[in-house]
Amino acid sequence: MTTITLDDRQVHVDAEGFLSEFAEWDEHLADTLAALIGIQLTPEHWKVIRFLRDDFAAQGATPTLRRVATLGGVPVKELFALFPKKPAKKMAYIAGLPKPHGCV
């Protein structure tokens, strides 16, 4: 497992840069991760991120776009607007979760 320094602290990441330790994430780190990929977090982003974290804690897997849309109440079209081009990957990255299964 690799460690990198973000916000003056060491965090564990996988080979693609996704956080690999659920407990190392916090909201300040989310802001930093979002900025690294060019996203300024808004209340709409936070709704999605909080859903992802809660769902992951309950289910043990990163939720799919369909799950976020259905259970999280955020339409897929809006997810693409909030997290352009690769929303599932970007949402998981910012939320400090593993890359979703099926993402390339």
Establish if 102 belongs to a structural domain: no
Work out how many domains the chain is built from and give that number. 1
Please state the pTM of the whole predicted model.
Answer: 0.93
103 is catalytic: yes
Establish if 101 belongs to a structural domain: no
User: Which residue is catalytic, options 12, 94, 103, 104?
Assistant: 103
Establish if 103 belongs to a structural domain: no
Percent of the chain's residues with pLDDT above 90:
85
For the cut 70, the answer to whether the pLDDT of residue 103 exceeds it is no
- pLDDT at site 7: 84
Q: What is the mean pLDDT of residues 25-50?
A: 96
Establish if 104 belongs to a structural domain: no
* CA proximity to 27, closest of 57, 5, 49: 49
Q: Could you tell me the residue range of the domain that residue 88 belongs to?
A: 2-95
What pLDDT digit, counting tens, does each position of 81-98 carry?
999 999 999 999 999 999
CB burial class (10 A; 0-12, 13-18, 19+) of residue 49?
A: buried
